[in-house]
Amino acid sequence: MRPRLSVRSKLILSSLLLLVTVSFAFTAASLHLSERWVETDLRRRAITFAREVAATIGDRREFENTRLLDLEIERIREARANVQNIDFLAFGGPWVRLLASSDPAWRPPLTLHQVRELERGRVVAQLVAKPEGRSWEVVAPILLEGAVAGAVAVEFSLVEADRLAAQIRWTALGITGASILVVVLLMGLVVHRVVDRPIRQFLRAIERAERGDLSTGVALSRNDEFGRLANHFNQMLELLAQASEELEERVRQATAELAERYAEVRRLNELLFQAQRRLRHAERLALMGRTVGMIAHEVGTPIHSIAGHLELLRQELPPEVLQGAPERRLAIVRSQLLRVGETIEQLQDLTRRPAGEHTAVGLNSLLSEVLDLVSPGVAAARVSVETDLARDLPPVAGDPQQLQQAFLNVIVNALDAMPAGGHLRVATRPERRDGRQWAQVRISDTGPGIRPDHLKQIFDPFFTTKELGKGVGLGLFITQQMVREHDGAIEVESSGGQGTTFVLAFPGVEAAG
């Protein structure tokens, strides 16, 4: 991960890069132009000097006097330290003859074109680079009696000029580097005071705000953008503090009210669950044709009381509380109260139970409602619940109330089989039977299981393995009757010590039709 640079570092580095680029580019350009100007000036001086030397030759007799020319060369070299070599050349026909030279080993490299230029009276100059340094080689024509008689060749050294140029170059680069360093230091101080310090104050204020401290803002008494930003930031913190206080107060009130209402709903749900279990026992006893009136009275009175309190509770609850889990639980309570009321009325004639109205029923949603209904008992029994509901499960034709009662009987039996806790699994899946589409429901527990000799009797009326007072042995008998009334089938899979699985299957809507 690349290291993060601060705004201060970015400003200094970008300014440094720009300053170094511009400064060194400007310095390099200035030095280059200066060196070119010096070269041009030295060339001009060398040409002027060569012409002056050529002009000192007055006549042909003097030009051909080699002794006199040697003395002139010696005098010039003593007077001009930057003159390295001087040659006097005479033109005659196609040949160039050397008359006098300061260094016999040195010859100016004259081309035929340059000789032709000299014969026309023009000066020839060229810059030559040697291991010992650069030099201007200038050849000026010598005019005698109106004609070019020869030429003087002068090697004008640039070693000293190049040395001074190099010294100036390094001095300029040093001054430029020192200037850049001073500017960077000053810029760092300015950026720290003008930019970095305010930003650090903002960051500290933001960190305090993240920890919940909205009381301390940014103290900047400036008239620039940072000052205006600090004022707006402080105003924002004040508004956030006010909004946070108001929100916390509203949350406290809503939480307290919701906790109170939720406890009330949970209490009603537990009462309903207990009433449902009492009703289940009452339905079993009703099959024996006894105590119908007493059960209807004992169960109906608290049910009507619960229904009245539930309606008052719904009227008292604010709309924002009746959302989510509380609303869903109240709906479950109300629907179950209606179902219990219908069941109480059916208790009056259990010997001839009328068939309910059959509609298309989605077993997945029905099982979810049953699990919500028994959730208080599941939590109290320390039982974990797992569901595996197939999305492509076909609907079945049946009475939702009776189907719910059948599933409730099986699930309550499973909970009774796990008094010390366990695992309840409810799964659905589609299947094909005799060329028709069926919906299968599997309800499994991790209880002690059913003994093989009891498996053939579990659907018989009044058969039970529970303790006295815990049941009369009619729950599974009633469940089997309800399943058969829906053209379905119920089976049980169990072995001692390995839990029990009830398999309920119902024909799909198309098959039932």
Residue 417 lies in a domain: yes
Task: Supply the pLDDT for residue 253.
Answer: 85
Residue 461 lies in a domain: yes
The DSSP string of 424-447 is: EEEEEEEEEETTEEEEEEEEEE-S
Give the pLDDT band (50/70/90) at residue 276: low
Q: Would the CA dihedral through 347, 349, 351, 357 be positive or negative?
A: negative
pTM beyond 0.75: the answer is no
User: What residues have CB less than 8 Å from 481, skipping those under 6 apart?
Assistant: none
Average pLDDT over residues 259-275: 70
Range of the domain at 98: 7-165
CATH code of 454's domain = 3.30.565.10
Residue 170 lies in a domain: no
CATH code of 11's domain = 3.30.450.20
Lowest mean pLDDT segment, chosen from 127-141, 166-180, 225-239:
225-239
- DSSP code at position 395: P
pLDDT digits (tens, 9 = 90+) for 42-75: 888 888 888 888 888 878 787 778 788 878 888 8
Average pLDDT over residues 310-321: 73
Residue 22 lies in a domain: yes
Domain count, the chain: 2
Residue 254 lies in a domain: no
Angle between helices 475-485 and 225-286 (to 10 degrees): 100
Residue 210 scores a pLDDT above 60: yes
> Among 141, 165, 189, which residue terminates a domain?
165
Higher pLDDT among residues 368 and 236, named by residue: 368
Residue 398 lies in a domain: yes
Asked if 499 contacts 444 with a C-beta cutoff of 8 angstroms, the reply is: yes
Residue 36 scores a pLDDT above 90: no
Q: With 0-12 CB in 10 A as exposed, 13-18 as middle and 19+ as buried, what is 159?
A: middle
Residue 205 lies in a domain: no
Give me 39's structure tokens.
Answer: 């070269």
> Among 135, 165, 195, which residue terminates a domain?
165
Residue 381 scores a pLDDT above 80: yes
Residue 349 lies in a domain: no
> Among 122, 144, 165, which residue terminates a domain?
165
Instruction: Tell me the CA distances in angstroms from 454 to 159, 326, 463, 505, one per residue in order.
Output: 122, 42, 9, 22
Average pLDDT over residues 287-308: 59
Place of tokens 């960190």: 207
